[in-house]
Structure 1
Amino acid sequence: MKYYEFIKSTFLNKKVISILSLILLTFSQIMLFTIIKSGYSVYEGYNSLKKLQENHVYLGNDQSTDEQFKRNFNQQNMSNSNKTAKEFLSYMDKNYKYAISWSTSSSESLDNFSLQLKTISEDYNKFYNLTTRSGRFFTHKDFITTSSIIPVVIGSKLANKYKLGETFTLLNTSNNVNEKYKVIGVLDNNSSITSVYNLDTKNYLNFAIIRPFRDIDVSKINILQLSAGFQDLLIYDSEKIKVNDLSSLAKKDDFFNMKFYSIDENIKEFFELYKTRAITLAIFTGILLLITCLLIIWNTINSVESLKFDLSIRSFLGLSFKDIKISLCIYKILLFMISAILTFIYFIFLKFKYDSLDTSETQIIYIMGLTKIDYLAFLTTFFLVALPLIFSFVLSIWKIKKIPLTLRMISD
């Protein structure tokens, strides 16, 4: 209790400065957490794309015009567009190694989120390494089967809706066919696909139903599926000139406007932009944290100096220098803990606010409101904020020692 009274009458004597210090420290932690979490996410995303880099993958980017889309999807041209789509994919099958995928929203929903129906070719998981927590992932047999019952792997959020081994029927909105699916596996929690354009952005598969793009599906592909698959189409083990030939073929008869970029080019471009933003934000946060610490140090020393006479009397009555150090330490810890709690609450609030507005592809399974990266970022943030606070404590004690307390009788 004596420490509380001393802190209240000394270090919290200037209420405006104390509140301002708390606000600045909280804002500094929020900024620092944002930078660190983004850094961890980028690092994780970069590592998840290593197989794409190792195989020198070229990434498709659909740059078709509105006029091309309108013509391809015009009801009068649909039959011809579907025929061209089949021919184009047949040519790719014979001349290229590729991985294609596309996603459509399902008519089914869970927790007010539409289920994501994702179709992937056999080589797709060669690059993204999706794993299951129960059951299994696709094997070669799943891509060559002609059964009317299609094997699927589901996101972890759907494990209670569709049991392992269960068969169910669902409308495939990409071909407008009711298909029968059998659950053969359940993905790990928060399985995701990293964006090759923003390495700290992921497409989560917790609400996804993944079906194989089987050999019998190749001959039935339509313009809608091919159009969706063009974006982020992966071409590997091919020279740049051969990849450009595929772009030229897509442009034939003004069918599609496809550009291909190497994964290395995408990553390099991302880091050029990201580093500039991250460094600018880090410098701003560092300056803000420095100002905050200086303000706390000034408030501490100024409070002691302005109460020299009162402290001298207290020391005469039994207040030791050790008591001052303990009180100052408690004050710093309280300041740190309150700002940390406010930062934690702020991000919890943001997550639940924006999660309710987002789509199924952004839904994450949390551990007490946060992900593993969030917790790691918080621990790193708290450690980095604690260091300057410890420094400010030591500096404050050093300065207080130099303040003459003429009536002080007790010291360490």
Structure 2
Amino acid sequence: MRKILISFCGLPITDGTSERIIQVAQNLAAKGNFVTLHVEVREGLKGINIPRNLQLVKKPVINKVSDILLNISPMLTWLARTYKLGKYDIGQLEGVPIFKALIYFIAFKPVCKKVIFVLHDVRDQCHISTITLLDKIKLRIQSFILKLFNLIITPAENHAEELVRVINDSNIRNRIVVIPNGAPSKIIPPESDVDKLRSKYKLPANAFLVLFFGNLRYKPNFLAAKFLYNNHTILARKFKQITNKKLVVLLAGKGSERFPRTENFIPLGFVENIFEIIKCSDVIVVPDDDYLSAPHVKILYSFIIGKPVILTKNATIGLPNAKNEEHFLIFDINDLNSLVQNLVRIYYDRKLVERITRNCKRYAETMSWEFIAGLHELLYIHLLRHD
């Protein structure tokens, strides 16, 4: 049994990053490891499964260095509780900006044999501008901080490539390990009666429902939602002309309620059981125009429910060995007709839908969070053996 310390920003689960962190922590604990998870608990823990070997420790909010001085008493209490638990084999910093990570590195290094930095989003966590002299100084400092960590984990190759590009240090790449996102192996099955689910969420019973979901506080998700909102009238009109079927775009996730509701566009806000909304939708669309916003947990979660997914090429990043026409359909975000054509294919071609959903469900089953946690565990073993 290994003792693992994982520290990240907060609860509850409202985005793919927090979902990944919680799932990895839960599955590491389920494998017999003792896991301490530091969180800035902003809301209740409803729906969070806490295994016996997983301990939640509330940590003070640290957004800048001055917060340490302003919260000196909570900081000392938090550190004392952390140190009281003794030595850890692994300390893992998740979702933390790199300059802020230095504070945690200094705090954790005395009690952790190895310290790992997890790079979920290179833009949110790192300084990537290279224009001014100050930018270049920040990049040098950033490179120094990254080299303090024993390893860097990232869920997709694109973030590793971008980090190496802006820092311009090939040695950093040798310290980065890619561990992709996963999907739950066990989920509470949504109500199988789609009509009941649509009635529960007050959705049109006979419409063709197109779903996008995600935390819209994350800019790429907001831009994807904006793309669908700006084009939903045209999509609905063209789809109706071809199929004589009403099309409605659903938008779920924190911040989605900011969009106005129309006859063909329904913002649902934050949905506690997203699997129910996936289940009662006909297709999931991920209009991602951003190379660095992938990978998307939402895609694997749609796969595991067995729903067809239409996405852009950028959104496929972080899905190793998944292929167009086998696991999903790709459309060009600059050509709205390509999206319409794929929506029509999903509507008419049942054999295509059966093949894709069968393949994508099998794919998601091979990428379970249990398997992803196992990859972390193997990495820890390798790292500790080379002490």
TM-score range, shorter chain: under 0.3
Q: Which has the higher contact order (CA 8 A, sep 6+)?
A: 1
Give the TM-score, by structure 2 length: 0.27
From the two aligned structures, give the one with the greater helix fraction: 1
The TM-score normalised by the length of structure 1 is 0.25
Larger Rg: 1
